[in-house]
Amino acid sequence: MSSNLFPITRLRRLRASEGLRGLVRETSVTLNDLILPIFVEEGIDAPLPVESMPGVERIPERALEGHVEALARDGIKALMMFGVSHHKDPAGSDSWNPGGLLARMVKKAKRAVPEMVVISDTCFCEYTDHGHCGPVEAGEVVNDAAIENLGHQAVVAVEAGADIVAPSAMMDGQVAAIRRALDAAGHTAAPIMAYSSKMASAFYGPFRAASGCDLQGDRKTYQMDPLNAREALRESLLDEAEGADFLMVKPALPYLDIVARLRQQSLLPIAAYQVSGEYAMIKFAAAAGALDEPRIVRETLGAIKRAGADLILSYFARDIARQGF
Ligand code: PBG
């Protein structure tokens, strides 16, 4: 070791040019690593900009096919789809109606670009009139009814053509219930991407406007306390045991410790979700001239990969597709 000290060792040698830096770069992000979340609204004619997420808009259902074709031309390979429903009820039943928005948007996306990997966010908060992620009784979301309904929704999503279902309701037993329902319907090959370590995070603020969710109250009785790391690992490892094919940490940047620790404890592919609030912080800081947006995007996505994520859900995915990493 002693002969490796200065002046023999000079770490600056390998930083002297972009060519050298490229040779020793340990992390990269490619389009195979990125999933673009999109919002699809029924009953509107023109795209609706989301003010809290500059550059993001709700796509009219009737323009979805052309939009998905354009995304594919830009190089996007995978989408996480959210519906903005005009047919809400206490259970969110439109989400498991085979003629409902969720089924229609999945069908349209797959019809437009069959090779696009379509992931269906499997939850109810965009489809319930109270905004919670399952039916509510006496002020509380009813776990076992919610997971039963998640099973119905997952089957409808897969039968509409979804390549992956992604349960995000944070109900106990949701992965097992969905696996059971899919298998019983003959869909043994349909993978589950579990939002497994999902925090009750204030970083979802802008998403609520984007998805038209009218939540009163909060999700603290089902989403996790952001200050707990061991519990986050338990959540993900339980989902793995229940049959998840992918795990997910959400949000991403404030939870890289969870990503890194989970990487040590699971052999499953790990996704991390750079959520609406992470996106908005970068966009508004860049608009104010405080941050260089392309450099910050590269640095944050790179950091998420470096921490151990295989996949990143990001509203910046299209920018990376167009401009490169
Ligand atoms: C649905 C869901 C949410 C997000 C993804 N799926 C909202 C929530 O849990 O409150 C948030 C995504 C984002 O903020 O970008 N349950």
Strands (E), 91-239: 117-122, 136-137, 140-141, 164-167, 197-198
Q: Which two tokens stand for residue 218?
A: 């909060």
Residue 7 inside a domain? The answer is no
Residue 183 inside a domain? The answer is yes
Rounded to 5 degrees, φ, ψ at 266 are: -135, 145
Q: Which residues contact 283 (CB under 8 A, 6 or more apart)?
A: 53, 54, 55, 293
Q: Tell me the longest C-alpha to C-alpha distance in the chain.
A: 71
The CATH number for 209's domain is 3.20.20.70
Choosing from 77, 107, 108, 198, which is the catalytic residue? 198
- pLDDT at position 216, please? 84
Percent of the chain with pLDDT over 70: 99
Per-residue pLDDT tens over the stretch 25-62 = 999 999 999 999 999 999 999 999 999 999 999 999 99
Q: Is 88 a catalytic residue?
A: no
Model pTM above 0.75:
yes
Q: How many angstroms separate the alpha carbon of residue 166 from the centre of ligand 1?
A: 11
- pLDDT at position 139, please? 92
Question: Structural domain of residue 260, as residue ranges?
Answer: 27-323
Residue nearest to ligand 1 atom 6, measured at CA: 168
Low-confidence ranges of the chain (pLDDT < 70): 1-3
Pair 41, 61: CB distance under 8 Å: yes
Q: Kindly tell me the sign of the dihedral angle through the C-alpha atoms of 108, 111, 117, 119.
A: positive
Residue 20 inside a domain? The answer is no
- The amino acid sitting at 230 is R
Cis status, amide bond into 98, omega within 30 of 0: no
Q: How far apart are CA 286 and CA 274, in angstroms?
A: 17
Q: How many angstroms separate the alpha carbon of residue 95 from the centre of ligand 1?
A: 16
Q: Is 220 a catalytic residue?
A: no
Residue 6 inside a domain? The answer is no
Q: Which residues contact 5 (CB under 8 A, 6 or more apart)?
A: none
Q: Which residues contact 84 (CB under 8 A, 6 or more apart)?
A: 39, 40, 41, 42, 58, 101, 126, 211, 212
Q: How many angstroms separate the alpha carbon of residue 200 from the centre of ligand 1?
A: 10
Q: How many domains does the chain have?
A: 1
Q: How far apart are CA 10 and CA 30, in angstroms?
A: 31
- pLDDT at position 4, please? 85
Residue 130 inside a domain? The answer is yes
The pocket around ligand 1, CB under 6 angstroms, is made up of 121, 123, 125, 133, 168, 204, 207, 219, 275-276
Question: Ligand 1 pocket: which of 168, 174, 214 to mutate (most atoms <8 Å of CB)?
Answer: 168
Nearest atom (ligand 1) to Cα of 126: 1
Q: How many angstroms separate the alpha carbon of residue 190 from the centre of ligand 1?
A: 22
Question: Ligand 1 pocket: which of 204, 278, 281, 282 to mutate (most atoms <8 Å of CB)?
Answer: 204
- pLDDT at position 1, please? 55
Q: How far apart are CA 258 and CA 212, in angstroms?
A: 29
Helix or strand or coil: residue 179? helix
Residue 266 inside a domain? The answer is yes
Nearest atom (ligand 1) to Cα of 313: 15
User: Within 13 Å, how many C-alpha atoms sit on residue 153's CB side?
Assistant: 34
Residue 22 inside a domain? The answer is no
Per-residue pLDDT tens over the stretch 100-149 = 999 999 999 999 999 999 999 999 999 999 999 999 999 999 999 999 99
Residue 83 inside a domain? The answer is yes
Q: How far apart are CA 63 and CA 68, in angstroms?
A: 9
Which has the closest alpha carbon to 85: 202, 172, 209, 211?
A: 211
